[in-house]
Amino acid sequence: MPKDAPPTKKIKKANPEISSAKTSNFLDDVAAERKKTATSVMEFKFNKKRVRVLSKTSEVPEWADGVIYWTFRDERIHDNWALLYAQKLAIKNKVSLHITFCRLTKFLDCSLRHYKHIFQGLEELENECKTLNIQFHFLIGSAAEILPDFVKKHKLGAVVVDFMPVREHMLWTQQLADSIGSEIPVVQVDAHNIVPCWVASDKLEYAARTIRNKINKNLPEFLTEFPPVIKHPFSGKLKTQPTNWNDADKTLQVDRSVLPVPGLKAGFKAGMNELDNFLKKRLSKYSTDRNNPVKDGLSNLSPWLHFGQISAQRCILEVSKFSKMYPESVLAYREETIVRRELSDNFCFYNPKYDSIEGAPNWAQVTLNDHRKDKRKFVYTREELEKSRTYDDLWNSAQIQLVKDGKMHGFLRMYWAKKILEWTDTPERALADAIYLNDKYSMDGRDPSGFVGCMWSICGVHDQGWREREIFGKIRFMNYDGCKRKFDINAFIARYGGMVHKYTKK
């Protein structure tokens, strides 16, 4: 944030006593729904289409003393198909149940802000594991490197992994399966999408319109209530070693200058609290307010959804209860959270170049190339962009929001990324800068929806060609005046304090 920016308005703090009482009612109601569905996952017809066997064997060996769930993307106990599947395997084989989180030294542009959020959520998870007789293990290192020895040493007879279609996680998962998969099962469960990514479609989709029906026709089968995770009835030799959370960030090689967002609480309970707030306060006007950055009209759930601290399926189940009361808002929320979100996973899963111009549709690559040499009136360095030092006070305000709040309003995200295309010397640099800033500061960064958001804005992914113009070619254009017509930009600028900075010619 530039030093000359005025302070943003203070956020009114909720009365913690009132808000925790409200959340616990909501949490109790949700827990009651799960219990009504089944007493445990053993009495529940688990849909096997959620599961992919990555190993050669699918049999848990007789010598097994436990089953382990390696959590990467879905860091929660409740409403988690991967953990439920692990519990089912463990009970069926009468063995103990374990969860591990393998902390890397560095992951993409994850900064201290993100790791602190992860740790806070995991601490809550670890505490709940104690009451459920599930052993939690906080390990340091890449799962592909450290899990094979850990699993062998402790006679764990199956590894369940969740699903994240970014190349790093897909590679580690495959490496893990290659190294231990002839002895024990390594199975992947899509716990993030409602319709498992590989069921929704077996190919790269062009746009929302081509995947919408494929997803919708599968919803009756997959959009079900969850059974509860129960107190695990079997114990084994391997016991949890309590994690020293004060030391959890030691040896991390991340940007420590990006600090946690003040007031943003991590974990399942905080995420469910935000869902409860959304249902009670914002859902009614979601269809009309969500594209207005000066109204608090969004669900605001993506920091918890991204880290899997709450489940998108749970959000949809709860939001859908208001279908009769607020039909348009429920429809709009379902379109964003089901179709758009799951389309992003489809893109990254089936397109290995999901974060490069080469991954864009052909028409977009051609048009960007045709305009590669167009004269740019303004060219900004990454540092100028990062420090909100452009001539555009609205853009600077959006960038300040990103840095300060760890979030940028969804509408402004599009404008923000498109301006980066206009202000950098090549589309490649524009894409790299947008992904870098998004991943470094946004709580929900490093997500398939983030790669797709940047690719949509800068290189036409899931979009169509528009009237041709300078620099953009046929890529959809957005400008300051368009924003002025859409919302009160002065109110937004006043809130975040972006300045107009004099342009320095390069």
Ligand X SMILES: Cc1cc2nc3c(=O)[nH]c(=O)nc-3n(C[C@H](O)[C@H](O)[C@H](O)COP(=O)(O)OP(=O)(O)OC[C@H]3O[C@@H](n4cnc5c(N)ncnc54)[C@H](O)[C@@H]3O)c2cc1C
Q: Which residues would be at the binding site for ligand X (CB under 6 A)?
A: 290, 298-302, 305-306, 336-337, 340-341, 344, 410, 413-414, 417, 438, 442, 444-445, 447, 449-450, 452-454, 457
162, 74 Cβ separation under 8 angstroms: yes
CB of 158 to ligand X, least distance (A): 30
In the complex, minimum distance from the CB of residue 411 to ligand X, in angstroms, rounded to a whole number: 8
Closest to ligand X by CB, 44 or 304? 304
User: Using CA atoms, how far apart are residues 355 and 454, in angstroms rounded to an integer?
Assistant: 8
Tell me which DSSP letter residue 455 carries. Answer: H
User: What does each C-alpha distance from 130 to 231, 241, 378 come to in angstroms?
Assistant: 9, 11, 57
| Shortest distance (Å) from residue 412 CB to ligand X | 9
85, 160 Cβ separation under 8 angstroms: yes
Whole-number Å distance between alpha carbons of 263 and 141 = 30
- The residue (of 66 and 450) whose beta carbon lies closer to ligand X is 450
Residue with Cβ nearer ligand X (198 or 441): 441
Q: How far is the CB of 394 from ligand X (least distance, A)?
A: 15
Residue 51 is inside which H or E element, if any? strand 51-53
Are the C-beta atoms of 354 and 454 separated by less than 8 Å?
Answer: no
Judged by CB, which is closer to ligand X: 97, or 298? Answer: 298
Report the first-to-last Cα separation within the chain, whole angstroms.
22
CA separation for the pair 144, 141 (Å, rounded):
9
| Interacting residues of 9 by C-beta distance below 8 A, sequence separation 6+ | 495
| 119/307 with CB nearer ligand X | 307
Phi, psi for 186 (deg, rounded to 5): -120, 115
Which residue lies nearer to ligand X by CB, 302 or 388? Answer: 302
Q: Which is nearer to ligand X, 54 or 454 (CB)?
A: 454
Give the shortest CB-38-to-ligand X separation in angstroms: 27
Comparing CB distances to ligand X, the nearer of 44 and 349 is 349
Residue 12 CB, nearest approach to ligand X (Å): 19
133 CB-near residues (< 8 Å, 6+ apart): 96, 97, 231, 232, 233, 235
CB 173 within 8 A of CB 349: no
Complex with ligand X: residue 74 or 447, whichever CB lies closer: 447
User: Is beta strand 66-70 parallel, antiparallel or unpaired with respect to 156-161?
Assistant: parallel
CA distance 50 to 57: 18
**Spatial distance between the Cα atoms of 105 and 302, rounded to a whole number of angstroms:** 24
Smallest distance, ligand X to C-beta of residue 322, A:
14
Minimum CB separation from ligand X for residue 434, in Å? 6
Q: What are phi and psi of 188, to 5 degrees?
A: -110, 135
Nearest distance from residue 345's CB to ligand X, in Å? 9
